[in-house]
Chains A and B, each alone.
Chain A
Amino acid sequence: MPSIETASPMVVDAEEARRERSRKLERTGRWLLPLIIMAAAIYFWDRICVWNEIPQYILPRPGVVLATLIEDASLLFSSLLVTLRITMLSLALAVVGGVGLSVLFTQSRWIEMSLFPFAIVLQVTPIVAIFPLINIYVDDQTTKLLLCAWIVAFFPILSNTTLGLNSVDRNLIDYFKLNGASRWQTLWHLRLPAAMPYFLGGLKIAGGLALIGAVVAEFVAGTAGQSSGLASRIIEAGYRLNAPRLFAALILISLTGIVIFLALSWISHLVLHRWHESALKQEQ
Chain B
Amino acid sequence: MPDRTNPFLILQSIGKTFASGVTALDRVNLTVNEGDFMSLLGPSGCGKSTALRIIAGLSSPTSGVVDWRGPPLQQNDIGFVFQEPTLLPWASVYDNVWLPLRLRGVSRKDAEPQIAEVLERVHLTGFENAVPRELSGGMKMRVSIARGLVTRPRILLMDEPFAALDEITRFKLNNDLLELWQERRFTVLFVTHSVFESVFLSNRITVMAAHPGRVFEELTIDAPYPRDAAFRTSALYAELCRNTSDTLSRAMGMEAADAIH
The verdict on A179 contacting chain B, using a C-beta distance below 8 Å, is yes
The verdict on A181 contacting chain B, using a C-beta distance below 8 Å, is yes
Among B15-23, B78-86, B231-239, B240-248, the stretch that binds chain A is: B78-86
* Interface pairs (22), CB distance under 8 Å: A171-B86, A174-B53, A175-B82, A175-B86, A176-B103, A178-B56, A178-B58, A179-B104, A180-B103, A185-B103, A189-B88, A189-B99, A189-B102, A189-B103, A193-B91, A194-B90, A274-B90, A274-B133, A275-B89, A275-B131, A275-B132, A275-B133
The reply to whether B89 and A276 form a contact with Cβ atoms under 8 Å apart is yes
The verdict on A190 contacting chain B, using a C-beta distance below 8 Å, is yes
Expressed in whole angstroms, the minimum distance between the Cβ of A197 and any Cβ of chain B is 9
Chain B 58-102, CB within 8 Å of chain A: the 1/0 string?
A: 100000000000000001001010101010111100000001101
The verdict on A172 contacting chain B, using a C-beta distance below 8 Å, is yes
Secondary structure at chain A's binding surface: helix, strand, loop or mixed?
A: helix
CB within 8 Å of B: which of A53-102?
none
A177–B100 Cα distance when bound, in Å, is 11
B80 CB contact (under 8 Å) in A178, A275, A280: A178
A32–B132 Cα distance when bound, in Å, is 37
- Looking at A171, A174, A178, A196, the one whose CB has the most chain B CB atoms below 10 A away is A178
Expressed in whole angstroms, the minimum distance between the Cβ of A39 and any Cβ of chain B is 41
The reply to whether B75 and A275 form a contact with Cβ atoms under 8 Å apart is no
By a beta-carbon cutoff of 8 Å, the part of chain B in contact with chain A is: 53, 56-58, 75, 78, 80, 82, 84, 86, 88-91, 99-100, 102-104, 131-133
Tell whether A178 pairs with B78 under 8 Å between CB atoms, given A189-B102, A189-B103, A275-B133: yes
Besides the known contacts A179-B103, A180-B103, A275-B131, 7 further A-B residue pairs in the complex with CB atoms under 8 A apart: A171-B82, A172-B86, A179-B104, A189-B99, A189-B102, A194-B90, A275-B132
The verdict on A26 contacting chain B, using a C-beta distance below 8 Å, is no
A230–B141 Cα distance when bound, in Å, is 56
A177–B58 Cα distance when bound, in Å, is 8
A219–B138 Cα distance when bound, in Å, is 60
B131 CB contact (under 8 Å) in A190, A194, A274: A274
The reply to whether B104 and A190 form a contact with Cβ atoms under 8 Å apart is no
A181 CB contact (under 8 Å) in B82, B84, B103: B103
Contacts of A180 on B, CB cut-off 8 Å? 75, 103-104
Tell whether A280 pairs with B133 under 8 Å between CB atoms, given A171-B82, A174-B58, A180-B75: yes
Expressed in whole angstroms, the minimum distance between the Cβ of A235 and any Cβ of chain B is 46
Expressed in whole angstroms, the minimum distance between the Cβ of B153 and any Cβ of chain A is 11
A193 CB contact (under 8 Å) in B57, B86, B90: B90
Chain B: CB-nearest residue to A182: B103
The reply to whether B99 and A275 form a contact with Cβ atoms under 8 Å apart is no
The verdict on A169 contacting chain B, using a C-beta distance below 8 Å, is yes
The list of the 4 closest CB pairs from A to B, nearest first, reads A171-B86, A275-B90, A179-B103, A275-B89
Expressed in whole angstroms, the minimum distance between the Cβ of A173 and any Cβ of chain B is 10
Contacts of A185 on B, CB cut-off 8 Å? 103
Chain A 193-204, CB within 8 Å of chain B: the 1/0 string?
A: 110100000000
Contacts of A179 on B, CB cut-off 8 Å? 75, 99-100, 103-104
CB within 8 Å of B: which of A190-230?
190, 193-194, 196
A212–B82 Cα distance when bound, in Å, is 47
Contacts of A176 on B, CB cut-off 8 Å? 103
Chain A: CB-nearest residue to B133: A275
- Looking at B57, B58, B84, B132, the one whose CB has the most chain A CB atoms below 10 A away is B58
A236–B78 Cα distance when bound, in Å, is 72
Expressed in whole angstroms, the minimum distance between the Cβ of A78 and any Cβ of chain B is 41
Expressed in whole angstroms, the minimum distance between the Cβ of B99 and any Cβ of chain A is 7
Expressed in whole angstroms, the minimum distance between the Cβ of A267 and any Cβ of chain B is 15
Expressed in whole angstroms, the minimum distance between the Cβ of B132 and any Cβ of chain A is 7
A182–B82 Cα distance when bound, in Å, is 21
Chain B: CB-nearest residue to A180: B75
A181–B84 Cα distance when bound, in Å, is 20
The reply to whether A193 and B88 form a contact with Cβ atoms under 8 Å apart is yes
Chain B: CB-nearest residue to A280: B133
Contacts of A172 on B, CB cut-off 8 Å? 86, 88
Contacts of B57 on A, CB cut-off 8 Å? 178
A280–B131 Cα distance when bound, in Å, is 13
A172–B58 Cα distance when bound, in Å, is 12
Contacts of B56 on A, CB cut-off 8 Å? 178
The reply to whether B132 and A169 form a contact with Cβ atoms under 8 Å apart is no
A276–B75 Cα distance when bound, in Å, is 32
Tell whether A175 pairs with B80 under 8 Å between CB atoms, given A180-B75, A185-B103: yes
CB within 8 Å of B: which of A4-18?
none
Expressed in whole angstroms, the minimum distance between the Cβ of B73 and any Cβ of chain A is 12
Contacts of B133 on A, CB cut-off 8 Å? 274-275, 280
CB within 8 Å of B: which of A248-278?
274-276
